């Protein structure tokens, strides 16, 4: 019950407040104001999350699920924090809770900010071991990140819940220990698992893809393996943009034009449209002495010419 109620966002107070704020603008079948307003967001990176709605509702007054029977409100507040870990949204302040619950919430918040050692110290100020699934995975990530003696056991426990994420953790741990070839092999296992496992957190896996990119830039000898491990689709379509772009970027880094030509052949003429992607495309066609080189150079010039000029343009020599 307490876990289920972490999905409660707001009551009718928020819905009525949003309606009243619109004044006379009433959405009807023949006057679809909501769809007209939607166009204002075209091209903008904007979204409204469940966390945004929950925080907005809380600004209007206390928010609590309208359940009349007995339930543990304090536990539900804590589980809201573990839900945030799973959803990769900000862990909220737990409100009026015991010191132990507050310490665990603070540890989760600190972990999200990237400070593993401080998160570990905060958690160890109270006596309860991690028991919720996301806490178990977080604990494994923390201990592996600082190479704590308890990391192996924590990773084994977390692997039963998030096997693909744990493969990534093990790869990064090997890399920090200086065993790069073993780290790449382990990361390859993680990418293979991702093709059939829909449950890894997307932000977490994007971090893995960034590590793969960075490794390719620093160690060109490993590029063929890195290109191969990112070549096939992930289990969920929503992860495809990040996976396919990482594969594209890695293929463009290779001296051998074969793989990058294969990637471009699948994408043309709708290749990524930003300076790095266009420069990589031009470089690939240049190395291959490909007939598309002229088009790639033209597209790159068009992009640069359309870019906004810095304020200092023409002023500093």
pLDDT of residue 293: 97
229 and 217 fall within a common domain: yes
* 105-132 average pLDDT score: 96
The answer to the question of residue 35 being in a domain is no
Q: What are phi and psi of 249, to 5 degrees?
A: -60, -40
The answer to the question of residue 195 being in a domain is yes
pLDDT of residue 20: 82
136 and 76 fall within a common domain: yes
The answer to the question of residue 152 being in a domain is yes
Question: Is the per-residue pLDDT at 4 higher than 60?
Answer: yes
Q: Mind listing the pLDDT tens digit for each residue in 44-101?
A: 776 777 778 888 888 888 777 777 778 888 888 888 899 989 989 888 887 778 999 9
Q: Mind listing the pLDDT tens digit for each residue in 159-168?
A: 999 999 999 9
pLDDT band at 10 (very low <50, low <70, confident <90, very high): confident
The answer to the question of residue 27 being in a domain is no
207 and 139 fall within a common domain: no
Domain end position, chosen among 234, 252, 270: 252
pLDDT of residue 314: 65
210 touches 187 (CB < 8 A): no
Q: Mind listing the pLDDT tens digit for each residue in 207-218?
A: 999 999 999 999
Domain end position, chosen among 252, 272, 299: 252
302 and 181 fall within a common domain: no
The answer to the question of residue 33 being in a domain is no
99 and 212 fall within a common domain: no
Q: Mind listing the pLDDT tens digit for each residue in 184-205?
A: 999 999 999 999 999 999 999 9
The answer to the question of residue 67 being in a domain is no
Question: Is the per-residue pLDDT at 282 higher than 70?
Answer: yes
246 and 267 fall within a common domain: no
* 293-304 average pLDDT score: 95
CA dist., res. 132 & res. 129, Å (int): 9
Question: Is the per-residue pLDDT at 273 higher than 60?
Answer: yes
Q: Which residue has the higher pLDDT, 283 or 6?
A: 283
CA distances, 227 to each of 3, 166, 263 (Å) = 41, 21, 10
Query: What percentage of the chain exceeds 90 in pLDDT?
Result: 66
CA dist., res. 97 & res. 81, Å (int): 13
208 and 299 fall within a common domain: no
Name the DSSP letter for residue 311.
Answer: T
Q: Provide the 10 A C-beta neighbour count for residue 161.
A: 14
* 155-180 average pLDDT score: 97
CA dist., res. 9 & res. 133, Å (int): 22
207 and 261 fall within a common domain: no
91 and 231 fall within a common domain: no
169 and 129 fall within a common domain: no
* Token code pair at residue 276: 């790095």
Mean of per-residue pLDDT scores for the chain: 90
Range of the domain at 82: 1-7+72-161
Is residue 126 helix, strand or coil?
A: coil
Q: What is the CA radius of gyration of the chain?
A: 24
The answer to the question of residue 315 being in a domain is no
Tally of domains in the chain = 3
287 and 263 fall within a common domain: yes
pLDDT of residue 194: 98
The answer to the question of residue 274 being in a domain is yes
Neighbour-count burial for 172-195, b at 16+ CB within 10 Å, e otherwise: bbbbeeeeeeebbebbbbbbebbe
86 and 140 fall within a common domain: yes
* 282-296 average pLDDT score: 96
Domain end position, chosen among 126, 161, 196: 161
């Amino acid at each position: 019950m307490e876990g289920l109620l972490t999905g409660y966002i707001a009551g009718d107070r928020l819905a009525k407040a949003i309606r009243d704020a619109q004044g006379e603008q009433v959405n009807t079948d023949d006057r679809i104001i909501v769809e007209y307003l939607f166009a204002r967001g075209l091209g903008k990176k904007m979204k409204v999350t469940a966390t945004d709605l929950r925080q907005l509702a809380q600004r209007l007054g206390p928010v609590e699920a309208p359940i009349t029977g007995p339930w543990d409100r304090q536990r539900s507040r804590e589980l809201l924090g573990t839900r945030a870990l799973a959803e990769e949204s900000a862990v909220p302040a737990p409100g009026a809770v015991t010191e132990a619950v507050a310490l665990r919430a603070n540890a989760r918040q600190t972990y999200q900010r990237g400070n593993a050692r401080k998160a570990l110290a905060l958690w160890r100020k109270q006596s309860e071991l991690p028991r919720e699934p996301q806490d178990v995975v977080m604990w494994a990530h923390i201990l592996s990140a600082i190479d704590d003696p308890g990391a192996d056991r924590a990773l084994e426990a977390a692997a039963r819940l998030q096997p693909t994420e744990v493969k990534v953790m093990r790869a990064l741990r090997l890399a920090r220990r200086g065993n790069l070839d073993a780290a790449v092999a382990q990361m390859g296992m993680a990418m293979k698992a991702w093709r059939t496992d829909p449950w890894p957190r997307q932000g977490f896996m994007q971090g893995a893809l960034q590590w793969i990119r960075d490794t390719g830039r620093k160690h060109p000898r490993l590029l063929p393996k890195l290109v191969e491990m990112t070549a096939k689709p992930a289990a969920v379509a929503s992860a495809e943009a990040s996976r396919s772009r990482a594969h594209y970027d890695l293929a463009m880094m290779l001296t051998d034009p074969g793989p990058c030509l294969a990637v471009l052949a699948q994408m043309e003429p709708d290749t990524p449209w930003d300076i790095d992607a266009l420069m990589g495309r031009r470089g690939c066609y240049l190395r291959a002495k490909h007939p598309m080189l002229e088009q790639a150079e033209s597209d790159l010039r068009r992009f640069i010419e359309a870019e906004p000029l810095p304020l200092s343009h023409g002023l500093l020599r």
